């Protein structure tokens, strides 16, 4: 029991330091995702817009599309502003409902 209390005291004493380290790591990962992710949008006239997310992580490329049913342009703009936290938002035309993962090919000479 005494051993457990000592361990608990150690955990409590290190909590603030460990918390700030983990917070810094999360911020670093968010920056990495933001740098390697592009978000493209095909704005639809009928209310359905298509969002394409393209990213790269650990030498693998990712592609994912989403259909957003937005009643007006203002709602779509608000959603895209929230998505800017995770990548650069652009406007493009693209096919809906497409998903793919590609492994990068390395040529070593």
**How does pLDDT run along the chain (109 residues), one tens digit per residue?**
889 888 988 888 898 888 899 999 988 887 877 777 777 776 666 667 777 778 877 778 888 887 877 776 677 777 777 777 777 676 555 455 667 777 777 776 6
Total tally of structural domains belonging to the chain: 1
Examine residue 33 and state whether it is found in any structural domain, yes or no: yes
The model's pTM is 0.49
For 8-23, letters b (16+ CB in 10 Å) and e give eeeeeeeeeeeeeeee
Examine residue 108 and state whether it is found in any structural domain, yes or no: no
pLDDT at 90: 63
Query: What residue numbers bound the domain in which 85 lies?
Result: 2-103
Examine residue 87 and state whether it is found in any structural domain, yes or no: yes
Examine residue 45 and state whether it is found in any structural domain, yes or no: yes
pLDDT at 52: 77
- The secondary structure of 44-92 as a DSSP string is -TTSEEEEEEEEEETTEEEEEEEEEE-SSHHHHHHHHHHHTTTSEEEE-
Examine residue 24 and state whether it is found in any structural domain, yes or no: yes
Q: Is 96 helix (H, G, I), strand (E, B) or coil?
A: coil
């Amino acid at each position: 029991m005494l051993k457990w209390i000592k361990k608990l005291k150690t955990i409590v004493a290190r909590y603030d330091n460990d918390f700030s380290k983990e917070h810094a790591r999360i911020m670093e990962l968010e920056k990495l995702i933001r740098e390697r992710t592009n978000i493209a949008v095909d704005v639809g006239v009928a209310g359905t817009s298509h969002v394409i997310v393209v990213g790269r992580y650990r030498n693998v490329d990712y592609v994912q599309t989403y259909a957003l049913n937005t009643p007006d342009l203002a709602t779509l703009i608000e959603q895209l502003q929230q998505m800017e936290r995770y990548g650069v938002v652009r406007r493009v035309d693209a096919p809906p409902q497409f998903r793919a993962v590609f492994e990068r090919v390395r040529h070593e000479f």
